Structure 1
Amino acid sequence: MDLFSRSWSALLAAVADTPDEDFARPSGCAGWLVRDLVCHLVIDAQDVLITLVTPAATAPTVDAVTYWRLVGPPTGDDPLDALIPRLAAAYGDPALLRFHLDDVGSAAGRAAQLADPAALVGTRGEVLTAGDYLSAYVLEWTLHHLDLIARLPAAARPPAETLAAARGSLERIAGTPFPASFTDEDALLVGTGRRTPTDEETAALGPLAVRLPLVLG
């Protein structure tokens, strides 16, 4: 729960500090500008709010790791993916998009702090504890923080503890650790296909290299 708050607060602060002109720069999400990524975060924050007030009465079907599904690379056919750039462009002024994320995002952060970690919630046709749900999102927030700053070298980076937690989650999803020579950031970027590994990194990855990237959905 604490890592959720740290990762989300850091990401909201990074967006708040992003100058208007940088909203038109490419993000680390292929095909999305920074403004598109921020618009996606608004929808993510709404999902958090919805899930935390959607109680479930059955036993958990997933946990913080199995919540994530391995899917194929984006094809551009997903209706929501196609909607995001149009919706982001409709805001016009980046200040409006920044304000909307701060408004909804702050509410999502407060809801997470008030949530009972043991409470069962439902989302995406699955049931899990609120604690596991929020833990799963540490990986989401950390990856998107890296996406946000991919071409903004002066921007604040994700906290070290959330980078380490996100790496641990990705390693559990992969079923094997990344090489110790990889920094947490490198493991996340290479592991999810956000960066192509060097020849040296590919050799260090060994059999894991052929299973990458791990595209999460």
Structure 2
Amino acid sequence: MDLFSRSWTALLEAVAETPDEDFERPSGCTGWLVRDLVCHLVIDAQDVLITLVTPAETEATVDAVTYWNLVEPPTGEDPLDALIPRLAAAYGDPRLLKFHLDDVGSAAGRAARLADRALRVSTRDVVLTAGDYLSAYVLEWTLHHLDLIAHRPSATEPPAETLAAARASLEKIAGTPFPASFSDSDALLIGTGRRTPTDADKAALGDLAAKLPLVLG
């Protein structure tokens, strides 16, 4: 199973295993409850389905790394950011949200497995191969898996191979590696501002500390 499928399958399983009462608890995404994060994943799964059936005739303009832009931290003023908590709340019963994600998410997973990796697709006003698009989302899924279990220490972490791949992608975006002393999870959490670095972390990061957090958009 490729890294996209591995990371997405693990994330869907982690959502399915999340107790209903935890949907009202904070996630690792600042300002979002777990239910908001899961609602965001539904929208992401829809985006995957839409993108994989939106072929482009022009040359690729980005790859799996340059697909991501560094943006300012969200303020909550973006209309979509404001919509997601309201939409998530409208589901009411967490089981409905789980069902919707499993339904759309499973379809997105099947579409990814069937996709021609060399096909060029269009999304967000850029063009890239389907293979690069799916590779880019390994970082997204892995980060959101960490967000999902941020306050559930006993929950299953993302697969080791997808953590390593996500770290490698973030290091390419940063233009430099994270300290070897950082675990893959620590590199991702500290690198994207999900965890505040300690003084020791800052010392290990050196000049890279001034560039953090890397907020992806």
Question: TM tier, shorter chain?
Answer: over 0.9
Query: Which runs of 5 or more structure 2 residues have no equivalent in the other structure?
Result: none
Query: Which runs of 5 or more structure 1 residues have no equivalent in the other structure?
Result: none
For residue 93 of structure 1, report the CA deviation from its aligned partner.
0.2
Q: Which residue of 1 aligns with 2:6?
A: 6
AA partner of residue 78 (structure 2): D
SS for the counterpart of 1:128 is strand
For residue 198 of structure 1, report the CA deviation from its aligned partner.
0.7
Q: Which residue of 2 aligns with 1:46?
A: 46
SS for the counterpart of 1:161 is helix
User: In 1, distance between residues paired with 2:55 and 2:77?
Assistant: 31
For residue 153 of structure 1, report the CA deviation from its aligned partner.
1.4
> What's the TM-score once normalised by structure 1's chain length?
0.99
Q: How many residues align?
A: 217
Report the identity percentage.
83
Q: Which residue of 2 aligns with 1:212?
A: 212
AA partner of residue 206 (structure 2): G
For residue 36 of structure 1, report the CA deviation from its aligned partner.
0.2
SS for the counterpart of 1:12 is helix
AA partner of residue 25 (structure 1): R
User: In 1, distance between residues paired with 2:23 and 2:152?
Assistant: 10
AA partner of residue 48 (structure 1): V
Large movers: runs of 4+ above 6 Å: none
User: In 2, distance between residues paired with 1:140 and 1:87?
Assistant: 21
For residue 155 of structure 1, report the CA deviation from its aligned partner.
1.2
AA partner of residue 58 (structure 1): T
Q: Which residue of 2 aligns with 1:55?
A: 55
Q: Which residue of 2 aligns with 1:30?
A: 30
Deviations along 1:191-213, one digit per CA (max 9) or x if unpaired, are 00000001001001000000000
| Equivalent runs, 1:107-126 vs 2, <5 Å | 107-126=107-126
Deviations along 1:48-74, one digit per CA (max 9) or x if unpaired, are 000000000000000000000000011
> What's the TM-score once normalised by structure 2's chain length?
0.99
User: In 2, distance between residues paired with 1:208 and 1:157?
Assistant: 26
SS for the counterpart of 2:190 is helix
For residue 140 of structure 1, report the CA deviation from its aligned partner.
0.0
AA partner of residue 155 (structure 1): A
Q: Which residue of 2 aligns with 1:15?
A: 15
Deviations along 1:3-44, one digit per CA (max 9) or x if unpaired, are 000000000000000010000010000000000000000000
What's the Cα RMSD here? 0.6
